[in-house]
Chains A and B, each alone.
Chain A
Amino acid sequence: GAVVSQHPSWVICKSGTSVKIECRSLDFQATTMFWYRQFPKQSLMLMATSNEGSKATYEQGVEKDKFLINHASLTLSTLTVTSAHPEDSSFYICGAGGGETQYFGPGTRLLVL
């Protein structure tokens, strides 16, 4: 149980384009979902927290207009990186709250050329 999927697992895009990443909780409902980014050999950095049906809460320093988060249902959250630039290249991981435990997706590696 407690499986979280992410799609796509890999994405390469040109600078200036937008990229959407989906996060789904497959066997449980997640009222709260989290988006993290992780740089090589570093830990997870929380970007934002989203609750189903309400606006996301962004961490300090994260541009809400650049990283659009939608939590449309209890099993789906999306992160859209708008007008992506090479510095947005990173490993993006979603977390889904299942009870008191947070379960994580397998991650999406984004490369912006």
Chain B
Amino acid sequence: EDQVTQSPEALRLQEGESSSLNCSYTVSGLRGLFWYRQDPGKGPEFLFTLYSAGEEKEKERLKATLTKKESFLHITAPKPEDSATYLCAPWTGFQKLVFGTGTRLLVSP
């Protein structure tokens, strides 16, 4: 059975305090991995797609990396507007995503 675990469940940072979120997965037939950001009461917003181990993608203060068993989302010098729930979702084909439970990030000014 496909499994996705995200850690920590919740993370509180001060503005400017860098950190990393983890996504560990056990899935068969991995074709890629997606990262999304979800604000309260809204649908997920696409951030990145990673396709192979060793790949890295960057967007503003966020950088996503991928290994064979996990992915990391690095947040450099976060700002309060980065506060959200970050979801990872391995992709096993036919566009079917397996979502993790998410990391709730709160960045305080």
Which chain B positions have C-beta within 8 A of A95?
97
Interface size on B, residues (CB 8 A): 21
B99, A107: Cβ atoms under 8 Å?
Answer: no
How distant is the Cα of A100 from the Cα of B100 in the complex, in angstroms? 19
Q: Which of A40-48, A63-71, A76-84 contacts B (4 or more CB under 8 A)?
A: A40-48
- Determine whether A97 belongs to the interface, using a CB cutoff of 8 Å to chain B: yes
B49, A101: Cβ atoms under 8 Å?
Answer: yes
B101, A42: Cβ atoms under 8 Å?
Answer: yes
**Complex interface bits, B38-64 against A, C-beta within 8 A gives 1, otherwise 0:** 000111111001000000000000000
A-B residue pairs in contact (CB < 8 Å), sample of 15: A32-B95, A34-B97, A41-B104, A42-B101, A44-B44, A45-B99, A95-B97, A100-B91, A100-B95, A101-B46, A102-B95, A102-B97, A104-B36, A104-B45, A106-B43
Please list the residues of chain A having a beta carbon within 8 angstroms of any beta carbon in chain B: 2, 4, 6, 32, 34, 41-46, 49, 91, 93, 95, 97, 100-107, 109
